[in-house]
Amino acid sequence: MPLNIEEIPNLGKAPSTSDVILKFIRDAIADGSLDEGEPIRQDDVARLFNVSKIPVREALKRLEAEGLVEFHRNRGAIVTSVSEPEIVQIFEVRSILESSALKLSVPFMTERTFRTARTYCDAFMEEADVARWSELNWQFHSCLYEDAQRPYLVSTIRSVNDRLERYLRVQLTLSNGKETADREHRHLLALCEAGDVDRAAAFLTDHIMQACRSLLHHLPNRRS
């Protein structure tokens, strides 16, 4: 029987066991199921996925590199706690990296870029599941950076955003953040369509830092 090439799965692109476990733990941190300072017990995770502790430890080491997990002697891996000053610094890094990526990207944007960005804007406003808001927010932002052809820069930006995801959910949920984000996203997109590199980059910086100020105002437990 002749093989249908289109039906053969590309196993090279299939997620590894550690990839699956990493996503599970990252999502649990983002949605608050794993709170700051809470231990992540490798035995329990390995038992949950019916695997050895090796892929669990691989996933935790990668999460440590992302800043979401840290290892303590006699306690193992715990969810990282982030203070208010640290949150501000992370947002500042976001603004620097993302405005730089946008500047590189705007001159090469096409109608396809704008159409994709508008699709993410619409999906963001139609989505009722809070857990999806931060991912759609990232998809909108990242699609504006892709034309820069700087995959390492975009990957670094994603890592920074992952550290903030749990806090962005707080900000979008407890404030009028969703509507504000949509309005600002569409204005940013209009500046990109106009090819106004400097104003687009400046507005993006303001957009990110305003989200930071809103988050700090709405944090359930103020940090010092």
Instruction: Name the average pLDDT for the chain.
Output: 86
pLDDT above 50: residue 54? yes
pLDDT at 15 over 80: no
The radius of gyration computed from the CA coordinates of the chain, to the nearest angstrom, equals: 19
Given a cut of 60, is residue 137 above it in pLDDT?
yes
Higher local confidence (pLDDT), 40 or 14: 40
pLDDT for the residue 3: 45
Mean pLDDT of 113-133: 90
Select the highest-mean-pLDDT range: 8-12, 27-31, 39-43: 39-43
Domains of the chain listed by start with CATH number: 14-79 (1.10.10.10), 84-218 (1.20.120.530)
Is the pTM here over 0.85, yes or no? no
Give me the mean pLDDT over the 11-17 stretch: 69
The stretch 49-58 carries a mean pLDDT of 92
Whether 1 shows a pLDDT value over 70: the answer reads: no
| Mean pLDDT, residues 74-102 | 91
